[in-house]
Chains A and B, each alone.
Chain A
């Protein structure tokens, strides 16, 4: 690959949906700045490039690598290690790489449970209960498909990560800002944050950016959003009994969902320094339950129909427990 002296940029997706790539394309005109300031050496979704060239690159020769997607199989991990080796700055980009995201909910189930749901579905004709096999003999020889880990992992659970950029996907204006910062830093006009920092997000939580009115919190009843006759457009959703993850979710998105009348679902992950996102949300919500009577508290809690789904929607693989027992034990007990 021609070396035009420009700093090299790479973006890779592991177990992801591609939304991060779209979010990067959505920085619109800024994409031209990237083109102007970087030599894009590697970006599967947008361009062709030769894998052997990446392998051939000297260590640390890629200036900036945005890595999105979780680590679902050994192939993902292999590339994570390769890009770590080749990159000066490796950014865990987006919810999947930082927290595990929605696909991380797979950590609630065993592999067989996942297979059964897919290959014994109502529309599937599979009388012999055929399952995909890691190695399978065909007339012409043997075919391989990568086996996947029983537990999905985040990027920093397999390699050392320089920065974290949360969001599902990261908001384009945040991406643009980070691109600006890195470009400035390259020209010695700005300081890069300390290693391990979270970039492209604020210090506080979504409520900080939310325009809704809030009062002293007391919750007597949790309701589900589609059951609400009319959602008050001004008032804090939580105060309307709607389970909103805003209070525990890192700011950075601009409180988009609450502004659109929908509850925050937590895609920006935990606030600065929080060890376990779900715990923060649990403790906050429980604390404002307006009752001291165990029975009444329990009946109020019945309004939270799916605690794990609500508290660990995006962060299960990065939580303290990381996965539920069936995933760890792979269904074997």
Chain B
């Protein structure tokens, strides 16, 4: 049997390793997507004071520390049964919008973008952010840098730091917003909305305007029928910071919504001995392996999932794009994975609009930003939407608020099963008898999961590291026919 190892997958924050097994005929027999590491946060957070969790779990992922910061803060509120002042909640959400704006921008232009902007089979050395800048021009490159800068500025103003914010504590936040700061944030927000619209236009021009890409997106290679989940507000509109988790089946039918503390009734995790990462699935539907369809508990949690699981967007411009999205792709739900890139840009716009709403909310400069917890701490769950999926933090503490147990279900982990399926599907369609595996083709395989913007820095909250990406083709006797190595 021939064995192909892709290891690691470049340009995803974190680590991964793919094993592709070909049968005698040279067709794909099976694929394994392995996460090689585990860091042990659930273990070593035990014994720590709960108010430190927003700071410790930050370090699960430097790409989306704000998501962990928020989930941890909300879990902390829950542990103490304290309801932060509404100004505090708005300040947290505003910070979060700044983060979403930066993160989605980063992914589109630096990580996922190059596949489209440069083209899947562009020279390796150019398939990166610098390549993108060279292609779209320094002026746009400048805009991209500006966008990331603005987002981080908001994060820094409210979170105290650009990376790994430090201001959320049980019951609220430690830092308020001055009027002067608010004015700055409002101005940047106005620019942010324009940039989001500009990015959607760029996508329309470069991607939707290019039939090859459209075919790629709509083609069957990158499509899987799975369940979808995403956080929604009371009106079932997409929300990143708060609300209930909406679950829809492959037909788009809503199976229900669950509150944070109910997550264990809905989500369960499956363990395989050949990888460190677990496979979450819908408990009521059950684990049926790496298959799609209504009977398989496999679900996806991405920008696309959030759009599929919600009834719309809470801001006007984003809502318009939302409608255009489903019109173009033929109605809900959309199963094509590459559409995640587009969905991400719609969320980018929503984040920018929400940013403006909050920046102009009179309450945002209130001094009432913290409620001292009075109840005896016990147990609590905090859920937010991380850019890469629903993020769940569940803490148990002793009466002093010292953690006795921790459970985390992290953004990317949600997508472990669907990613595995996408890889197998992409590989099967791209590699068949007699095919000579090319680098471009490998990248096409990578594209399958890069669309998820998988962050295994996050996923491996439970061990990080990076492995060489390598394709080894062996003949039936296991002798090495050819070795292709991709990156590091």
Of residues 39 to 87 in B, which have CB atoms within 8 Å of A's CB atoms? Answer: 39-49, 51-52, 55-56, 58-63, 65, 76, 80
Mask, A216-231, CB within 8 Å of B = 1, is: 0000000011111101
- B188 on the interface (CB 8 Å rule)? no
Q: Is the CB of A18 within 8 A of B457?
A: yes
Q: Is the CB of A46 within 8 A of B110?
A: yes
Q: Is the CB of B36 within 8 A of A145?
A: yes
- B124 on the interface (CB 8 Å rule)? yes
Q: Is the CB of B272 within 8 A of A28?
A: no
Q: With A256-B160, A305-B400 as given contacts, are A130 and B21 in contact (CB-CB < 8 Å)?
A: no
Mask, A99-143, CB within 8 Å of B = 1, is: 001110110110001111111011111100011110010111101
Q: Is the CB of B152 within 8 A of A14?
A: no
- B223 on the interface (CB 8 Å rule)? no
Q: Is the CB of A256 within 8 A of B161?
A: yes
Partner of A259, one of B141, B160, B269, B401: B160
Closest to A73 in B: B465
How many residue pairs, one in A and one in B, have C-beta atoms under 8 Å apart?
A: 321
Residues of B within 8 A of A23 (CB): 62, 162-163
Which of B10-18, B235-243, B321-329 sits within the interface? B10-18
Q: With A12-B488, A106-B44, A138-B274 as given contacts, are A225 and B51 in contact (CB-CB < 8 Å)?
A: yes
- A66 on the interface (CB 8 Å rule)? no
Chain A: number of interface residues, binned into ranges: 35 or more
Mask, A184-214, CB within 8 Å of B = 1, is: 0000000000000000000000000000000
Residues of A within 8 A of B314 (CB): none
- A31 on the interface (CB 8 Å rule)? yes
Q: Is the CB of A138 within 8 A of B32?
A: yes
Q: Is the CB of B63 within 8 A of A18?
A: yes
Q: Is the CB of A145 within 8 A of B44?
A: no
- A177 on the interface (CB 8 Å rule)? no
Partner of B51, one of A19, A50, A103, A224: A224
Q: Is the CB of A18 within 8 A of B62?
A: yes
Of residues 75 to 94 in A, which have CB atoms within 8 Å of B's CB atoms? Answer: 75-76, 79
Partner of B14, one of A18, A25, A42, A229: A18
Closest to B158 in A: A260
Q: Is the CB of B267 within 8 A of A131?
A: no
Q: With A13-B466, A54-B488, A260-B167 as given contacts, are A25 and B110 in contact (CB-CB < 8 Å)?
A: yes
A125 to B468 Cα, complex, angstroms = 32
- B258 on the interface (CB 8 Å rule)? no
Partner of B174, one of A116, A132, A262: A262
Chain B: number of interface residues, binned into ranges: 35 or more
Residues of B within 8 A of A76 (CB): 465-466
- A151 on the interface (CB 8 Å rule)? no
- A234 on the interface (CB 8 Å rule)? no
Partner of B275, one of A101, A132, A148: A132
Q: Is the CB of B149 within 8 A of A79?
A: no
Q: Is the CB of B467 within 8 A of A121?
A: no
- B38 on the interface (CB 8 Å rule)? yes
Q: With A25-B106, A124-B278, A226-B372 as given contacts, are A42 and B37 in contact (CB-CB < 8 Å)?
A: no
Of residues 369 to 384 in B, which have CB atoms within 8 Å of A's CB atoms? Answer: 370, 372-373
Closest to A264 in B: B166
Closest to A74 in B: B465
Q: Is the CB of A44 within 8 A of B278?
A: no
- B19 on the interface (CB 8 Å rule)? yes
- B196 on the interface (CB 8 Å rule)? no
Q: Is the CB of B463 within 8 A of A148?
A: yes
Closest to A44 in B: B488
Q: Is the CB of B148 within 8 A of A79?
A: no
Closest to B467 in A: A75
Q: Is the CB of A51 within 8 A of B488?
A: yes
A54 to B487 Cα, complex, angstroms = 9
Closest to B464 in A: A15
Q: Is the CB of A143 within 8 A of B148?
A: no
- B429 on the interface (CB 8 Å rule)? no
Mask, A278-290, CB within 8 Å of B = 1, is: 0000000000000
A235 to B474 Cα, complex, angstroms = 68
Of residues 229 to 285 in A, which have CB atoms within 8 Å of B's CB atoms? Answer: 229, 231, 253, 256-257, 259-262, 265, 267
Mask, B1-24, CB within 8 Å of A = 1, is: 101000010110110010101000
29 A-B contact pairs sorted by A residue (CB < 8 Å): A15-B37, A15-B465, A17-B59, A18-B13, A19-B63, A44-B11, A45-B13, A47-B125, A51-B469, A69-B465, A102-B56, A103-B464, A114-B43, A117-B462, A130-B272, A132-B272, A140-B3, A140-B29, A141-B3, A148-B38, A168-B164, A172-B162, A224-B51, A225-B174, A226-B171, A256-B161, A261-B175, A265-B52, A308-B47
Interface residues of A (CB under 8 A from B): 1, 12-23, 25-26, 28-29, 31-32, 35, 40, 42, 44-52, 54, 69, 72-73, 75-76, 79, 101-103, 105-106, 108-109, 113-119, 121-126, 130-133, 136, 138-141, 143, 145-146, 148, 168-169, 171-172, 224-229, 231, 253, 256-257, 259-262, 265, 267, 305-306, 308-309, 313
Q: 12 additional contacts, CB 8 Å, given A123-B280, A125-B287?
A: A1-B125, A12-B466, A19-B63, A69-B464, A101-B59, A103-B59, A109-B43, A118-B278, A143-B19, A226-B80, A260-B166, A306-B402
Interface residues of B (CB under 8 A from A): 1, 3, 8, 10-11, 13-14, 17, 19, 21, 29-30, 32, 34, 36-49, 51-52, 55-56, 58-63, 65, 76, 80, 106, 110, 124-125, 127-131, 141-142, 145, 148-149, 152, 156, 159-164, 166-167, 169-171, 174-175, 263-264, 267-276, 278, 280, 287, 370, 372-373, 394, 400-402, 406-407, 409, 443, 455, 457, 462-470, 485-488
7 A-B pairs with the lowest CB-CB distances in the bound complex, closest first: A19-B62, A260-B160, A261-B174, A47-B128, A114-B40, A102-B59, A117-B43
